[in-house]
Amino acid sequence: MNTPPKEHINVDHHKLHAFVSTAAQTVGLTAEKAELLTKNDLQGVFSHGTQQIATYAILMRDGQLNKDPQIEVVRETPVSALVDGDGGLGYFPAYQGLYWR
């Protein structure tokens, strides 16, 4: 878990979710993937949540980040899986990997 910055503001989760969802969907991210950004904040992962939306939106808009990756398990063993994130954000395949099998 990340530590929140010493100087911060509190934002209502619903308002934050609406803003981030709108920004992400404007550049083509699906609503369910946009939801993961706000979930990261709620789970205490501030480094990879909503604070990155401006950077993510620019990278998606410019085609440097896949906004609709086709995530797939490339190889698996009884105890692990290699997941291809298809050039998208890393926590999308990580999230899918949590529910693999």
Residue whose structure tokens are 């010493």: 6
Report in angstroms the alpha-carbon separations of 93 from 3, 16, 18, 46, 88: 24, 23, 23, 18, 8
pLDDT, the chain, mean:
86
Lowest-pLDDT range, 1-5, 8-12, 34-38?
A: 1-5
pLDDT bracket for residue 29 (50, 70, 90)? confident
Integer Cα distance of 62 and 41 in angstroms:
25
Top-level class of domain 13-98: mainly alpha
pLDDT at 71: 92
List the domain boundaries for the chain: 13-98
Q: Does residue 74 register a pLDDT over 70?
A: yes
Q: Does residue 4 register a pLDDT over 70?
A: no
